[in-house]
Amino acid sequence: MSDLPRKAVTRTAKLAALPLGFAGRTALGLGKRIGGRPAEMIAAELQQRTAEQLFATLGQLKGGAMKLGQALSVFESALPEQIAGPYRAALTKLQEAAPPMPTASVHAALAERLGEDWRDLFEEFEDRPAAAASIGQVHRAVWHDGREVAVKVQYPGAGDALLSDLTQLGRFARLLGPLIPGMDIKPLITELRDRVAEELDYELEARAQRAHAREFSGDGDVVVPDVVHHSDQVLVTEWLEGVPLSEVIANGTQEQRDRAGQLLARFLFSGAARTGLLHADPHPGNFRLLTGDAPDGPPEKWRLGVLDFGTVDRLPQGLPVEIGTALRLALDGDAEAVHELLQDEGFVKPEIELDPAAILDYLVPIIEPAQVDAFTFTRDWLRSQATRIADPRSPAYQLARQLNLPPAYLLIHRVTMSTIGVLCQLGATVRLRDEMEAWVPGFAMDTRSEETPA
């Protein structure tokens, strides 16, 4: 495929084939079960084939389809290993690449958005894209003042494609649920759809990126490339050279994984506190590790390069103090106070009666990384959490069904869970509590009890 498929009929047909294929495989599985094959083996085979078809289609279509694929890809750590293994490579590919737009289309888009003399803005411009994502692709170039830059060009028709894809995907979201245990995919699709206008607005993205670049200028841990120029659908930023986070996930040493994980956690919490903005697209394709002059040396001096500020949550006061307070109270074992705070914030609706002790039992395993000085995030740990919440027979499942996620917390929740998914892909040991005490309002307000595990 050489361009973004924009005809609604074409895109709808490809997406509509997903549930039809799922239904066909389910019928085939029933036939095999009648024929005597074990139910567990059949279920695993069906899940694997469905996932392979899903991510192949989402990656091919780009637009909203690929956006969902990228959002789901960070949760592959929650899948059973026998399912996750066969298509992990396909998920990683979604995070870094997509079929490119033809060169003629790129030139036409630049002429329309930067003027017919757009080439005069650059000393050099590489026609082959350096990266391609859901709604645009990036070209490496040299600005007219000699700076190396990244030129992000939005796909023609990207807005219509985003809305069409996400509307269509929302219609059969329940069929995708079994792919990621413990995750309700429909609210994720709804939230992605609500963010379409922001994602397409490069003026908003330029503002958010400039704010981060100013705040982290000269920082020893985080690097954000500054904005050089922007127009309606073209964004030019400083070029950032570094090791893709996906490469560290695939091949990094434990020391490299730990450093990358610590930096990722630090940016998650400090970014909101320092800029009043929450970077809301934390999949590995948006991060680079800057190794300086010693790429093979110890990673203690590595810095985290952050890209793509198309989706941000505006938090002028940083993360809500209620989040830090609830976590601190839960770690202290104060079930009644946690219950009261969750009621006040709308997580527990007035007509719902829940046992405070049951809420605490539900929360404590999830916040285990904040209980200890250093926590090792693993696929097994995430898988156990997902299984606990997804099993209809478990108390955690029953309680989760009665909790409510207020709209103001929806994006914060997704970003946090996505970041945890990436940390588990890394298998990183992270001093998460240090970052939370430094940057999350309310978390370190009081000293936790001495009985809290260390």
Task: Look at the chain and count its residues.
Answer: 454
Look at the alpha carbons of 118, 122, 127, 132 in this order and tell me if their dihedral is positive or negative.
Answer: negative
pLDDT at 228: 98
The answer to whether residue 279 scores a pLDDT higher than 70 is yes
Between 98 and 266, the higher pLDDT residue = 266
Structure confidence by residue, pLDDT tens digits, 136-153: 889 999 999 999 999 999
Distance from C-alpha of 43 to C-alpha of 28, rounded to nearest angstrom: 11
Mean model confidence pLDDT for the chain: 80
pLDDT at 4: 47
pLDDT at 289: 96
Q: Compute CA 115 distance to the chain's CA centroid, rounded to the nearest angstrom.
A: 35
Confidence of residue 453 (pLDDT cuts 50, 70, 90): very low
What are the residues whose beta carbons fall under 8 Å from the beta carbon of 424, sequence distance 6 or more?
77, 78, 377, 378, 379, 381, 382
Strands 222-223 and 148-154: what pairing?
A: unpaired
The answer to whether residue 426 scores a pLDDT higher than 90 is yes
Q: What is the mean pLDDT of residues 192-220?
A: 90
Structure confidence by residue, pLDDT tens digits, 160-180: 777 777 777 776 666 665 555
Span of 95-99, 214-218, 290-294 with lowest mean pLDDT? 95-99
pLDDT at 71: 63
Between 230 and 71, the higher pLDDT residue = 230
The answer to whether residue 19 scores a pLDDT higher than 60 is no
Confidence of residue 198 (pLDDT cuts 50, 70, 90): confident
Residue 365: count other Cβ atoms within 10 Å of its Cβ: 14
Provide the percentage of residues in the chain whose pLDDT is more than 70.
72
Distance from C-alpha of 191 to C-alpha of 17, rounded to nearest angstrom: 23
As given in the structure block, the two tokens for residue 128 are 């082959």
Confidence of residue 132 (pLDDT cuts 50, 70, 90): confident
pLDDT at 449: 36
Cβ distance 11 to 51 under 8 Å?
Answer: no
Structure confidence by residue, pLDDT tens digits, 431-445: 999 999 999 999 986
Nearest to 14 by CA among 28, 4, 26: 4
The answer to whether residue 220 scores a pLDDT higher than 80 is yes
Instruction: Provide the β-strand partners of residue 122.
Output: 143
Confidence of residue 37 (pLDDT cuts 50, 70, 90): very low
Confidence of residue 389 (pLDDT cuts 50, 70, 90): confident
Strands 136-143 and 148-154: what pairing?
A: antiparallel
- Rounded to two decimals, the pTM is 0.80
Structure confidence by residue, pLDDT tens digits, 355-376: 999 999 999 988 999 999 999 9
Span of 9-13, 163-167, 339-343 with lowest mean pLDDT? 9-13
Cβ distance 90 to 56 under 8 Å?
Answer: yes
Instruction: Provide the β-strand partners of residue 278.
Output: 313
Structure confidence by residue, pLDDT tens digits, 287-338: 999 998 766 778 999 999 999 998 899 999 999 999 999 999 999 999 999 9
What are the residues whose beta carbons fall under 8 Å from the beta carbon of 342, sequence distance 6 or more?
326, 348, 359, 403
pLDDT at 285: 86
As given in the structure block, the two tokens for residue 364 are 């404590």
